[in-house]
A and B are shown apart, each in its own frame.
Chain A
Amino acid sequence: EAQVTQNPRYLITVTGKKLTVTCSQNMNHEYMSWYRQDPGLGLRQIYYSMNVEVTDKGDVPEGYKVSRKEKRNFPLILESPSPNQTSLYFCASSPLAGGREEQYFGPGTRLTVT
């Protein structure tokens, strides 16, 4: 089954404790992206990757890191989480098609930083 998976689905952590949210897709998509969803703000892009070893900042990259060492995986790293990073996070992937293909979203990771 074609899908994007994220782990964990739920995470409660404390300020400053490094964490990684994994994202994996099995569709051989070149493009992967991370979004965060906050009430009243919709979804905002954090980072994206057009291919292996190619990553770039989205609209809200502060406090996050990503890597793309393999085509299928695109982990999101919070080196020192803070309460303002409490949010619902989505990973997405799509073929590189000039924006005309829909993005496939993972199930979401709900992160709470206390």
Chain B
Amino acid sequence: AQKVTQAQTEISVVEKEDVTLDCVYETRDTTYYLFWYKQPPSGELVFLIRRNSFDEQNEISGRYSWNFQKSTSSFNFTITASQVVDSAVYFCALSPQGGSEKLVFGKGMKLTVNP
């Protein structure tokens, strides 16, 4: 069975602080895909990143970076120099290869960035 755990349910930081959102996953598949989505207060789901299980390179996109460690089954997301606009609920998700294209979501983590 697949499972995604986001242990932190809510984090509050002050603008310009760095913040890391943890994601731990469980799967027996050797090939799988990991995703992060952002849900701002307006409610829509915004795709942030996709990573496949064979690519353990870290990725940086502006203030966002992702650390994929297969050895610990983690796919953590760091926001550097956080801004108020980063306030949102963030979801980590897992998709096993093939089959139903199903996305298994974590329960989400609410980030509040205060000015």
Contact = CB atoms under 8 A, between A and B. Distances in A.
Contact of A107 (B43, B97, B100, B105): B43
Interface residues of A, number: 30
A42 B106 contact: yes
Given A40-B107, A41-B107, A42-B107, A88 B101 contact: no
Interface string B89-115: 001000111111111011110000000
Contacts of B64: none
A108 B33 CA distance: 24
A99 B98 contact: yes
Contacts of A67: none
A11 interface: no
Contact of B32 (A31, A45, A99): A99
A90 interface: yes
A31 B105 contact: no
A100 B43 contact: no
Interface residues of B, number: 25
A42 B100 contact: no
Interface string B53-68: 0000000000000000
A102 interface: yes
A105 to B, nearest CB: 4
B105 A43 contact: yes
Nearest to A45: B102
Contact of A58 (B45, B98, B102, B107): B102
Contacts of A97: 101
7 contacts: A33-B103, A48-B102, A50-B100, A56-B100, A90-B45, A99-B32, A102-B47
9 closest pairs, A vs B, by CB? A99-B95, A105-B45, A42-B107, A42-B105, A43-B105, A102-B47, A98-B98, A31-B101, A98-B97
Given A44-B105, A92-B103, A94-B101, 5 more contacts: A35-B105, A99-B96, A99-B97, A101-B50, A102-B50
